[in-house]
Amino acid sequence: MPIFQLLATLVVLLQVPKRSEAQIEGRQNHGLIGYGISMYDPMCASACTSVFPQTINCMGTGDSVDDESPSNQILATCEPYLESIAWCIHEHCGDGVEQEKLESWWLSNIPGQVPGQKAPKLTYKEALSLVSKKPTETIKNGATLTQAVSVPESSYANEYEQEKVYEKVETNHSKYGLIIFITGAIAPIFISSIRFLPIPSRLMVGINSYLIDPPLFGKRHAVPLFNTGLVPTRDQAIFIGYLLIINIVLSAVGYQTAKPGTLYPTPSYQITSYISNRLGVLSFANLPLLIFFSGRNTLLVWMTDWSRSTLLLIHRWIALISTIEASLHSVLYLVLVIWETDYDAKSQLAFWYWGIIAVVAMSLIFPFSVVKIRQIQYEAFLILHIFLAILAIVGSWYHIKYRYVDERGYETWLYMAMAIWGFDRGIRALRISRFGMKRAFVTEIDSRYLRVDIPHVKCQGHAYFHIPSLTWRSWESHPFSIIPQVIEDPPTTINSTTVIESGNRVENFRPASWEKKSNIISSSRMDHWINSKVETSALTLYIKRRQGIIALLASKANLMNGIPVVIEPYNERFFSFGGLPERTTEYPNTICFVGGVGITGVLPFLTKISTADDVHGKVKLYWASRSQALVDSIADQLGSQLTNIEMSVSIGQRYDIKAVLEAELGSEIGEGTTIVVCGPASMSDEVRYHVAAFGRSGINVRLAEKSFSW
């Protein structure tokens, strides 16, 4: 099913339920409780209607009336009832509330809150005028009203206190949800801003080596633990710890109890209900936050230096927190229903089973999102992820609509989540529209790697590629680092010093000739699309063969007319996504470890720093590859784009990272060195471990990792 059909399905499913199907009636409110929505205003009047027994008879109607039933509206024609409520309001509101406000409340709330309901038979002023003094008879459950009655003062006081406490606790639900969302969204921006402070490099090295770069425990970060999930780095763990702590704390504070009344029969029931509601609201508050962290176009991308991998890791932790809170909300509510001996009736209601659908959908996302499934069956993971996420939102939407209609404002959290998602998708559409449909020419390098050339495209950094001709899953895209090129006359000089190691053999290595490059870029397959005599922008990407859509891409190699592709570009000059740090006078030296096609992730970075005139220092590249053909294919880009860089290329053998770093860093006295790594997860973890160790030993180093792990 194309993404547009999925969206259309979501829109249809989110239609407001019919009033006759809802479990309670209510008018549409906007905002959150305590922030735009007042539950009882004025409370002195609201308590008067709440304190009346749930079952009363009114002379002239002949009906027994349950105040949770739509038939409750017949009380609007019962004069003794209206007179009783009017006197109660007069007695407890007095002159503290304006007459106009009381009349407005009377019209809207006597006897129910159904939109478009019939007006009461008497206005508040008319009903009050029929009662000359305080009624002497008090209301009793099941009694038949023949005249105005009063309510016991103790009962009214209990009801007023319960409503006051209930609204205060509900306001705390909203306040704490906002705290979680706002602090979770802006804290990364403030944390990331620390890099602009004039912190001495030596102090920063210590902070990086002890508190930021190492994994929380062990030596693994990029390599999954038990092929299930990633161990966060220590700085990631600190932020995740903050999210866990603030959710736990705000789930446990801000409660009050009132004496038993019509709302809650016992204090323990009251507290259990409050905690259940709090967990439900906090779960909802985390929904827009987790979508905020998953987007490609958010403030976190534009205003922080956090990598895409970091944002997605935190996204998964927030999703876990939200799911646990939703599950606990369901369990506690089940306890309350069993407590009421009302399970059979409640479990048949629409809000009940839609809530179950939402929680089950949220819970199923996790077993289908373990690293092994994402890596081996990414396409299956993606479609399941989208489907279950939509089902969770739809289930949550109906859970609220059937339970509260629009009265409580809980759906505001869902509006926020959908707005953030829609904004990200809108920006993606704008990015895609920049280039439109292009032709991609696939070349098979060897059994491991593919090369893809796309003419008439000018961008740098990385891009997401949609290949509609290979799959019906039009929403599916894959990120790749790109090599920007300009096809023109060949360069006249190459100043790089390049060495290649093949096993134990070391030989001089010369980049491939420009003629060879021209044959690749301007082959007969592309003659229809570019003119080699005119300067033309193009981009090249190298892809390691995998299952799924990449395997389908390999089947299109060497086609004369190429295949249509859609490009979603991201320029790392403006967007972090793992962008690498600038070369500075404090860190003039750069050592880069690259594995396989990871060279494409650092090539633009190396090109920039190799041509910089303002900072002088050494730049060394250590590139390990299993494929000689890959090295030969990329050699022309290395030769034509990199100057003043020492390169070592190892075919079929990994470098001893520790030995290389000892040799390179041992001669540095005081000068800072940036260690860049872009390659397999095991290589990244090894470099991370040794850089942190060197930093703890007092060597002035900093780590920059380039990855697209998800």
Spatial contact of 230 and 374, defined as CB atoms under 8 Å apart: no
- The band of 51, judged by pLDDT with boundaries at 50, 70 and 90, is confident
| Claim to verify: residue 97 and residue 139 sit in the same structural domain | yes
- Cα 401 to Cα 81, 347, 534, 635: the distances in Å are 31, 16, 62, 61
Q: What is the mean pLDDT of residues 627-631?
A: 90
Q: Tokens 């299952």, residue?
A: 547
- 351: three-class secondary structure by DSSP: helix
Q: Give the strand pairing for 36-37 and 32-33.
A: parallel
Query: Which neighbouring-strand residues pair with 449?
Result: 544
Decide if 37 is inside a domain: no
Report the range out of 7-11, 142-146, 221-225 with the highest average pLDDT. Answer: 221-225
DSSP 506-557: EEE--PPPHHHHHHHHT-GGGTTT--TTS-EEEEEEEEE--STHHHHHHTTT
Instruction: Decide if 399 is inside a domain.
Output: yes
The average confidence (pLDDT) of the chain is 82
Residue 306 tokens, joined: 């956090």
CB atoms within 10 A of CB 378: 18
Same domain, 179 and 311: yes
| CB 552, CB 672: distance < 8 Å | no
**Sheet architecture: strand order including 478-481:** 478-481, 462-466, 563-570, 437-444, 449-455, 536-544, 483-487
In a domain, 28, yes or no: no
Q: Can you tell me the mean pLDDT for 649-671?
A: 85
> Average pLDDT for residues 183-211, to the nearest whole number?
91
Domain identity same for 144 and 175: no
Ranked by mean pLDDT, the top range of 54-63, 576-585, 645-654 is 645-654
Considering the domain architecture, whether residues 244 and 321 belong to the same structural domain is answered as: yes
Closest CA to 27 of 352, 408, 413, 396: 408
What pLDDT sits at residue 575? Answer: 39
**Is residue 39 a part of any domain in this protein?**
no
Q: Which two tokens stand for residue 460?
A: 């740098």
- Most distant CA atoms of the chain, gap in Å: 111
Q: Which of 35, 373, 24 is nearest to 172 (CA)?
A: 35
Q: Is residue 300 part of a domain?
A: yes
Q: Is residue 255, in this structure, part of any structural domain at all?
A: yes
584 confidence band (pLDDT: 50, 70, 90): confident
165 and 139 in a common domain: no
In this model, does residue 365 exceed pLDDT 50?
yes
Q: Are 676 and 592 in contact (CB under 8 A)?
A: yes
Query: What is the number of residues in the chain?
Result: 710
Q: What is the tens place of the pLDDT at every residue in 510-538?
A: 343 323 333 333 344 555 555 544 556 88
d(CA 564, CA 454): 10
Domain total of the chain: 4
Does position 54 have pLDDT exceeding 90, yes or no? no
**Shared domain check, 228 and 105:** no
Of 58-62, 159-163, 451-455, 473-477, least confident by mean pLDDT is 58-62
Cα–Cα nearest to 10, from 316, 324, 386: 386
Same domain, 336 and 230: yes
| pLDDT per residue as tens digits for the range 176-188 | 999 999 999 999 9
Most confident of 240-254, 329-343, 422-436: 240-254
Q: What mean pLDDT do residues 470-476 have?
A: 78
The strand pairing partners of 57, in sequence order, are: 64, 144
Q: Which of 304-318, 326-340, 482-496 has the lowest mean pLDDT?
A: 482-496
Question: Is residue 32 in a domain?
Answer: no
Of the listed ranges 7-21, 92-106, 262-276, the least confidently predicted one is 7-21
Beta-bridged to residue 647, according to DSSP, are 498, 621
User: From start to end of 152-211, where are the E strands?
Assistant: none
pLDDT at 7 over 70: no
**Strand, helix or coil at 138?**
strand
pLDDT in the model for residue 640: 60
Residue 52 confidence (pLDDT)? 79
Claim to verify: residue 419 and residue 507 sit in the same structural domain: no
Q: What are the CA-CA distances from residue 82 to residues 58, 73, 90 (Å)?
A: 11, 12, 12
C-alpha closest to that of 285 among 361, 364, 175:
175
* Percentage of the chain modeled with pLDDT above 70: 81
18-27, 165-174, 187-196: the lowest-pLDDT one: 18-27
* Separation CA 690–CA 680 (nearest Å): 16
List Cα–Cα distances, 85 to 141, 161, 409, 673, in angstroms.
16, 18, 28, 79
Task: Provide the residue type at 175 as one letter.
Answer: K
At 116, the pLDDT band (50, 70, 90 cuts) reads low
Q: Give the model's confidence band at 509: pLDDT under 50 very low, under 70 low, under 90 confident, else very high.
A: very low
479 and 415 in a common domain: no
Mean pLDDT of 594-619: 81
Least confident of 151-155, 396-400, 521-525: 521-525
Rounded Cα distance, 87 and 82, in Å:
9
- Which pLDDT score is estimated for 362? 97
Instruction: Tell me if 258 sits within 8 A of 168, measured CB to CB.
Output: no
Read off the DSSP letter of residue 212.
I
Closest CA to 607 of 517, 446, 491, 688: 491
Closest by CA position to 487, among listed 528, 444, 445, 458: 458
60 domain-assigned: yes
Last residue of one domain, picked from the residues 92, 117, 150: 150
Main-chain phi, psi angles of 501, to 5 degrees: -115, 125
Q: What span, in angstroms and rounded, lies between the C-alpha atoms of 257 and 266? A: 9
Query: Domain boundary residue among 429, 452, 482?
Result: 429
Scanning 347-410, the segments in alpha helix (DSSP H) are 350-365, 371-376, 378-404
Least confident of 31-35, 112-116, 469-473, 537-541: 112-116
Identify whether the C-beta of residue 108 lies closer than 8 Å to the C-beta of residue 152.
Answer: no
Q: Are 422 and 437 members of one domain?
A: no
Which CATH number belongs to the domain containing residue 701 in this structure? Answer: 3.40.50.80
- Shared-domain flag, residues 417 and 355: yes
311 touches 293 (CB < 8 A):
yes
Q: What is the helix (H) or strand (E) element at residue 457, kind and residue range?
A: none
Q: How confident is the model at residue 691 (pLDDT cuts 50, 70, 90)?
A: very high
Q: If you average pLDDT over residues 159-185, what whole number do you get? A: 95
> Do residues 514 and 490 make contact, with C-beta atoms less than 8 angstroms apart?
yes
The residue range of the domain holding 673 is: 589-705
Those residues whose C-beta lies under 8 Å from the C-beta of residue 469, and which sit 6 or more positions away, are 563, 564
Q: Most confidently modeled of 131-135, 136-140, 234-238?
A: 234-238
Tokens found for residue 669: 């006295």
Residue 169: what pLDDT?
96
For residues 515 and 419, the answer to whether their CB atoms sit within 8 Å is: no
Are 525 and 561 a contacting pair, CB within 8 Å? yes
Q: What is the pLDDT of residues 63-85, one digit of tens each?
A: 444 444 435 567 778 888 899 89
Which of 88, 123, 150 is the last residue before a domain boundary?
150
Instruction: Give which of 662, 693, 686 is closest to 206, Cα–Cα.
Output: 693
Structure confidence at residue 527 (pLDDT): 52
Q: Which helix (H) or strand (E) holds 422?
A: helix 411-435
* Residue 184: how many other CB atoms lie within 10 Å: 24
Buried/exposed code over 396-413 (b: 16+ C-beta within 10 A; e: otherwise): bbbbbbbbbbbbbbbbbb
Contact 243, 317 (CB under 8 A): yes
pLDDT at 20 over 60: no
* Closest by CA position to 55, among listed 69, 41, 39: 69
Q: Pick the residue with more confidence: 347 or 352?
A: 352
**Based on the domain organization, do 300 and 367 belong to the same domain?**
yes
Interval 360-364 mean pLDDT: 96
pLDDT above 70 (res 612): no
| CA atoms within 13 Å, Cβ hemisphere of 677 | 22
